Amino acid sequence: MAVALILGWWLVAASRAQQLPRPSLSLHPSQGVSLGDNVTLRCHLPQLAAWVWLYREGRWSYAKYSDKKQDTTEFSFLSTSREHAGTYSCQYQLSESEDISVMSDPVELVLTDRSFPPPHISLHPEERVGTGTNVTICCWNKDYGAAFLLHKDGRSAPIQRLVPDDVGAVSFTLFGVTPADSGTYRCSYRPRNYSFLSSPLGDIVTLEVTPTAAPPGAELVSRGNLVGSGEGLRCCPHLWPRRLLCHRCPQPLDTER
C-alpha cells in the first residue's frame, strides 16, 4: 500500500513538472573563458520561483533562494579551476505550489588551459583562390590533441570538429568556397582525457576568395581531401615536423623491415 502511494505521488509530481515551462541556462561570457577567469551562469525563469538549483554533470551542485521579482538567478564562479569545467543545467521550484520544473537544456563550460601549447596550422592553396575552389586547412599537435576544432573570426562557435589521425593531424575541408568564406581561421584542440578543457587558439591563416571562378581542374585537384584514399591532399607531419604542409604525401618508410 505504501509503495503504491509513493508511486502515485511520484507520477503526479512528474506530470506537474512536465506542465511547467522549461527554464533556460546561459553562460557569461559564452566563449573564451580561461582558467582563473570569472564566469556567471544565468538560469532564466519563465515563472516566479522560490528555489533554483544548478546541476553539474547531472548532479546537484548549488541552490539559491530566488527573489520573486527576478526572472533570472545567477551562479558565479570566481577564479575558475579545472573542477568547474563541465556540463551544467538548472531547475526551479514554484513558490506557490512547490511544483518542480524539468531541467533546462544543458550548456558546456569549456575552459582554456594555457599550459597546453597551441596547435599549428597551414592553408592550401596558400594564395587567394577563386569561387568554387576546395580549400584545406591542416591543424596538428601530435602530443596532446584528442579532438581539433576550426574557428573563424566573427563566429561565436567552432565551425568544424574532427578527431586526429595517428600522427595528431586533421584536414578541414571547405568545399566550393565563396567570398563569404573569406576571413581569418584558427585551430584549437581538446586535450586527451579533458573533454571540457581547451588549448589556446593557435596562429592564424587568412583565406581570400575572389568572385571569379576557379581555374579549370582546381576543384578536381582538391576533391580528394579527407577521403582517405591517399591520392588527395593530406597533412604530412612525418615530413615536416616544424611546419605541416598539405600536399600529396608519400608513405613514410618502414625502417623496421
DSSP category for residue 220: H
Q: What is the pLDDT of residues 48-67, one digit of tens each?
A: 888 999 999 999 999 998 87
Helix (H) or strand (E) holding 197: strand 197-198
Distance CA 77, CA 172 (A): 35
Which of the pair, 236 or 173, is modelled with greater confidence? 173
| pLDDT given for residue 32 in this prediction | 86
**Grid coordinates of 79:** 577564479
Give CA torsion, residues 160, 161, 167, 171, to 10 deg.
-20
Q: Specify the 3-state DSSP secondary structure of 189.
A: strand
pLDDT of 248 reads: 41
Q: Is 160 exposed, middle or buried (0-12, 13-18, 19+ CB in 10 A)?
A: middle
Distances (CA, A) of 23 to 43, 46, 108, 194: 7, 6, 16, 28
Express each pLDDT in 86-144 by its tens digit: 999 999 998 777 799 999 999 999 999 999 999 999 999 987 899 999 999 999 998 88
What is the pLDDT, as a whole number, of residue 235? 57
Decide which of 71 and 242 is more confident.
Answer: 71
Q: Can you give the pLDDT at residue 215?
A: 61
